[in-house]
Amino acid sequence: MSHTTIPARVALVTGASGGIGGAIAERLAADGMAVVAHYSSRAAGAEEVVDRITAQGGRALALGGDVADEDAMTSLFQTAIDTFGGVDVVINAAGIMPLAPVAETDLEVLDRVLRTNVRGTFVIDQLAARHLRRGGALVNVSTSITRLQTPTYGAYAASKGAVEALTLVLARELRGRDITVNTVAPGPTATPLFFEGKTKQMVEGITALSPMERLGRPEDIAEVAAFLAGPGRWVNGQTIHANGGAA
């Protein structure tokens, strides 16, 4: 670890046990940030992300907890502050995506989606608003489904519409603190969550939506998140659709 007069920036990434969140955690570490990689249930995945970061000479820590539980997340933020000295970047990548037509959606499943995707985002955003240092950045993660409006995604699209609505409100509330608040809205991205329950034919059909003729990669989304977390200081209160032109 180098001893410089400028302390390293510190990033807290929720849902960092793999997929998009894991790629973002690794990308921010490559930019020199110390990273807290949060996981909900997949501790092994988060530990693998941390191992890859530390193998490259970075600093990282895996911590678990339910994003919708304010006490657990308060503890998470405090551990980040105690370990690394503060928090400069928060990336909200935790989320769940059970699919069903609206007419057939189990309302208990809806409650679970809203708890994780809406309440969880709100809890993390609230803590970020309280703890981010000047010059900080908050990046929520939505989905291009809010534009594509694909059947069976009703509960998920509704939850992410709420995430996008929260972003500009919070950006305005943080006036005067030099903190940006944005949302990145990925299109179809090749992660385990995306492939779950889809046939080869379905995957091919979704891939064809993009004029780039491929699925997004987690690294594609991480690149946008890193821009918003670092040099993109004049982008604020926005939803950036990173989907290769699919929507």
Indicate the number of domains in the chain.
Answer: 1
pLDDT score of 4 more than 70: no
The answer to whether residue 5 is domain-embedded is no
The answer to whether residue 209 is domain-embedded is no
Q: Which long-range contacts (CB under 8 A, 24 or more apart) does 167-175 make?
A: 167/140, 167/237, 167/238, 167/239, 168/237, 168/238, 170/125, 170/129, 170/138, 171/236, 171/237, 172/237, 173/129, 174/129
The answer to whether residue 245 is domain-embedded is no
Mean pLDDT of 66-89: 98
Q: In 15-81, which ranges are E strands?
A: 34-39, 60-64
Q: What is the pLDDT of residue 18?
A: 85
Q: Looking at the DSSP assignment, which residues form a beta bridge with residue 18?
A: none
The answer to whether residue 205 is domain-embedded is no
| pLDDT tens track for 148-186 | 999 999 999 999 999 999 999 999 999 999 999 999 999
Can you give the residue range of the structural domain that contains 182? Answer: 10-189+219-240
| Catalytic residue numbers, as ranges | 156
The answer to whether residue 113 is domain-embedded is yes
Task: With beta carbons less than 8 A apart as the criterion, state whether 211 and 245 touch.
Answer: yes
- Rounded to 5 degrees, φ, ψ at 203 are -60, -40
pTM of the model: 0.95
Q: What is the CATH number of the domain that holds 144?
A: 3.40.50.720
Alpha carbon distances (Å) from 237 to 66, 110, 111, 147: 26, 27, 27, 18
The answer to whether residue 49 is domain-embedded is yes
The answer to whether residue 121 is domain-embedded is yes
The answer to whether residue 2 is domain-embedded is no
